[in-house]
Chains A and B, each alone.
Chain A
Amino acid sequence: MFLFDPFFWEVVISGLLAGVMYALVALGFVLIFKASGIFNFAQGVLALFAALTLVGFQTGQIPFAHLLEALFGLHASHWGEGMNTVLALFLSLVVMIGLAWLIVKIVLRPLVNQEGIILFMATIGLAFVLEGVGDLMWGANVKRLDVGLPEGPSDFLLDNTGMFIEKLEISAAVVAIILVVTLMIFSQYTKMGRALRAVADDHQAALSVGISLETIWWVVWSISGLVALVAGVMWGAKSGVQFSLSLIALKALPVLMLGGFTSIPGAIIGGLMIGVGEKMFEFYIGPMIGGATENWFAYMLALLFLLFRPQGLFGEKIIERV
């Protein structure tokens, strides 16, 4: 019976742990989408950018060192020993919030009232700008990220159940769960949170609460900057900070298609489904067809799913009017 097979449970649990991360990133998407109707393709690159910035602060890199060298012949690449992790995290968050402000002012404000698809393409452009700026600031080499999270397999689980689960994945999941719960409380019980949800339904109504649209956007993009930072730290700690990080974050896209773009529970359940689904598929079907199915499984699942339920699991049904 497969239910007693520790491998089965190992696959399920590691799927759930990965799924929590997808859910977290998807939540970043949902918040932005609800507040501004923007499908933010740059979310993945935001995570990469956040992780690069964090490593840069931690190790004391000088931003744009290579560019400065090319321009002025400066040879310095580090300004010192770096700083401690907490301070670096804080400063990275400040950078992400500043970045959110820039994005709102430069990209979003001129595109108000544009069609969703135009905004979507604009965020693809934004993704390229951020990728370029990130690489230019901190260099494109693969970087190791260590924020002091526990590593190696969990001995407790290994000894008692025979399952091989990374401690890092457990702590990532715990952090993600805390953040998810915080965000839900924030959007449910604070004035700003209510304004965020109201703005999705009715711009005018949201304005009557006394918070400007731009402020709301700035807040959601900052939140998604925070989400990106956390995701960047977790994934970066696992497999190094490099370009492929931004592609992992794109996995949140099929999560959204499953869960619906406007539903917070949808993002969470969709994330877990994709996490478990892709691990199971890779473990049981993967070996038969050559493996590495994680690259496309989530997209294909979402695609098939959409054919039967275009509004997603929890999305509102769209009634077209003439």
Chain B
Amino acid sequence: MSLKAVETFVTEDGRSIGPVILEVKDITLKFGGVTAIQNISFDIRGGEVRAIIGPNGAGKSSMLNVINGFYHPQEGEVWFKNELRAPMKPYQIAYQGIARTFQNIALFKGMSTLDNIMTGRFTHMSSGIFAQAWWKGAAEKEEFSNREKVEQIIDFLEIQKIRKTEVGRLPYGLQKRVELGRALAAEPRLLLLDEPMAGMNVEEKEDMSRFILDVNEEFGTTVALIEHDMGVVMDIADRVVVMDYGKKIGDGTPEEIRKNQVVIDAYLGISHD
């Protein structure tokens, strides 16, 4: 166990965040001959908002896919809650308390908002197939207690009105919100958000930023997010990892990243010319 796992950390705005809950060490991921991620290490501390930024094709989404078990890296280790994680299937990782949203919305299009978010409670529901078929008693009780949690999330995200609407019919911004709700429903320890604000207008972005910060503060959920809007990232992130061409080129508080010459050259420089 590393020292970092116990110490706390004080952020720029004076917030004290907890010990490391997830650490990736020397991750290398290849597809055939293409190296998507090369030798990357960083950590995520409990209770923080951690941002991963970088130009397109830098390997950010692949990194999230490694963390939630969709890709298996050729080299490197993932430590979660102070334990070396054995190779696992994505659904097992969900049971460990990691949830995520997707860059291109991955909602269950044929189901209502309510059902989508209820599906997010899957890891908390355990009644068997016969109990489900009989319904009366255990299954019904379990359904209603989980429904209560889901209603809280619906209230929190202010989506009461679209509860019974099929999500395929919702506008883009609301779909993103429902997807966040579905991930929140799992009550995750670590929430991974892949470009939660992509394609949104300023107002929607503000809403989404507020939700992310509220989730982080009210539920104490650790958030790791990928985002392109530098303004938003610098505003809401406690610490930032910068990737470029599959390599890590910077890691630190927003202030440190802003001053980091390598990052300015590689990323900020490009985006401004």
| Contact across chains for B31 and A322 when beta carbons are under 8 A apart | no
**Chain B residues positioned under 8 Å from A322 (CB to CB):** 61, 65, 70, 102-103, 106
* A319, B34: Cα distance in complex, Å: 13
| Contact across chains for A319 and B31 when beta carbons are under 8 A apart | yes
**Chain A residues positioned under 8 Å from B61 (CB to CB):** 322
Question: Looking at chain A's contact residues, is the secondary structure mostly helix, strand, loop, or mixed?
Answer: loop
Residues of A within 8 A of B (CB): 319, 322
Q: Which residue of B lies closest to A320 (CB)?
A: B70
* A322, B67: Cα distance in complex, Å: 13
7 closest Cβ pairs, A-B complex: A322-B65, A322-B70, A322-B102, A319-B31, A322-B61, A322-B106, A322-B103
How close is B72's CB to chain A, nearest CB, in angstroms?
A: 13
Q: List 6 A-B contacts (CB under 8 A).
A: A319-B31, A322-B61, A322-B65, A322-B102, A322-B103, A322-B106
**Chain A residues positioned under 8 Å from B65 (CB to CB):** 322
How close is A6's CB to chain B, nearest CB, in angstroms?
A: 48
How close is B98's CB to chain A, nearest CB, in angstroms?
A: 14
How close is B106's CB to chain A, nearest CB, in angstroms?
A: 8
**Chain A residues positioned under 8 Å from B70 (CB to CB):** 322
How close is B182's CB to chain A, nearest CB, in angstroms?
A: 15
* A322, B61: Cα distance in complex, Å: 8
Q: Which residue of A lies closest to B71 (CB)?
A: A322
* A322, B70: Cα distance in complex, Å: 9
Q: Mark B60-75, 1 if CB is under 8 A from A, else 0.
A: 0100010000100000
Q: Mark B101-124, 1 if CB is under 8 A from A, else 0.
A: 011001000000000000000000
**Chain B residues positioned under 8 Å from A319 (CB to CB):** 31
Q: Which residue of B lies closest to A319 (CB)?
A: B31
* A322, B31: Cα distance in complex, Å: 14
How close is B215's CB to chain A, nearest CB, in angstroms?
A: 22
Q: Mark B28-67, 1 if CB is under 8 A from A, else 0.
A: 0001000000000000000000000000000001000100
* A319, B31: Cα distance in complex, Å: 9
* A227, B65: Cα distance in complex, Å: 46
Q: Which residue of A lies closest to B62 (CB)?
A: A322
How close is B37's CB to chain A, nearest CB, in angstroms?
A: 15
* A322, B104: Cα distance in complex, Å: 8
* A215, B65: Cα distance in complex, Å: 42
**Chain A residues positioned under 8 Å from B102 (CB to CB):** 322
Q: Which residue of A lies closest to B100 (CB)?
A: A322
* A319, B70: Cα distance in complex, Å: 12
